[in-house]
Structure 1
Amino acid sequence: MVTCTLETPRDKAMRLVREKDKIEQEIAEWNAVLNANNIGMREPLVDSEGFPRNDIDVARVRHARHRIICLQNDHKDKMKEIEVALDEFYAGGRADGAGPSNMNVHQPNANGHVPNGHIPNGHGSNGYLPNGHASNGVANGEAHQPPPRNEASIEQQVTPIALVVNVCEGSPADLAGLRSDDAIIQFGSLNSRNTEEPSLAPMEELVTHSIGRRIQVKVKRGNSVLNLVVVPRPWQSDDNRQSLLGANLRRITN
């Protein structure tokens, strides 16, 4: 006799996150092909005379670009599936009164890799809190209470220093997952606590000195805070504008 085991909302969410991770890993591998050829998603593959460039592996780059576009579309679809699964997961938790306190599913960074968010299971010491510590409240027979929050500290932590005005398709900012209207909370080592300069000069200087290097970026998008990684590199838009990010930012001062 064959026994069918129904997939729980939590199991479904975890499976989808694993599938998402595989997509991001493959995006990272194809991005490595572009990086090896010192090229991005938009630069021309022919020289000024219309011949294939001899400084890159044109066929390999063309295939890598195609795969990245396909995988990015797959990733968007997978994120929609995860969103539905999370709704089911939270709804189940509310129904039995033991729902999770938080779940993080991050957007991909420039290399296609994102930090994995723990999916809490709500069962005693096996349930992970957002800070990575196991919750033992249920195991001790106590009702779980959220840890006390320092509102002043939280407010300071989420104070944005810049707003993303627009992002060019295929640019380093686009590959990192930055979107228009994202509020930048942290840009590398820069945040509201150490950046009093009313201009974008500190951020521009950091970008200039970080070509080919990873910059950790924390943004507030709606009610979510996302951890992204952008890798500045020379990039040219369709209208021949030169940039290292491919995004317009507006400084926010308090």
Structure 2
Amino acid sequence: MSGTLLKEELLQLDNKRRSIMRDIEEAMTFLNSTPVGLRGSLVDSEGFPRDDCDLYAVRRARHTVNCGHNDLKSIEATIHEKLSQLHEECRGEAEEQMQRDKMKKKSEDDQRRRDEQKQVMSSKEPFVRVVDVATGSPAEEGGLICGHLIVQYGDVDAEKVLEGGFGEMARVTSSYEGQMLRVWVRSPSDDDCGGARELFIVPQRWRGEGLLGCTFEPMKLN
């Protein structure tokens, strides 16, 4: 097969891939607007179907996301196969294209992982509220503000706090002194559908007290 025909097939495959990605993005946008998101339970605490969202639409959107990811893997595998053929027809040009596609795929995979991680974090229960942040503190420099609701602090979440107590946060803070600590927060204005945001804080000695320079208020956990 000539290089021209291979390029035409690759263009068609890429257009199909982009179409699937748009469908996934639309489905994720819808899911993020619901209280259940991508993985939340569709039944309430008593085992009955939830009545606060369109369950049929949620199932359909989840199906679109799951099937879309599978279709993307198949299409991307075919794209790489065609690129290998194109490489034989036109080695120099194919090598450049494969490198671009590899970088693009990695970027898209990274973005998908970030989106999925954000969805998971957005569904987590907050366990502490930030009630005070000192000026010039590591907490302020990392982006923490009063009112932030913390859903993940290093490896600590609400479930871990229920098991080990709020002292788990002190353990994480000490172990990350001088290192970048990943913290996921929700703003007080976010409702149940609001997305969590990722912050990076470096606990360290500063002119004030402690390693963070902020005060947390424990929240009642379910």
TM-score range, shorter chain: 0.3 to 0.5
Q: Write 1 or 2 for the structure with the bigger share of helix.
A: 2
Which structure has more RCO (C-alpha within 8 Å, separation ≥ 6)? 2
What's the TM-score once normalised by structure 2's chain length?
0.48
What's the TM-score once normalised by structure 1's chain length?
0.42
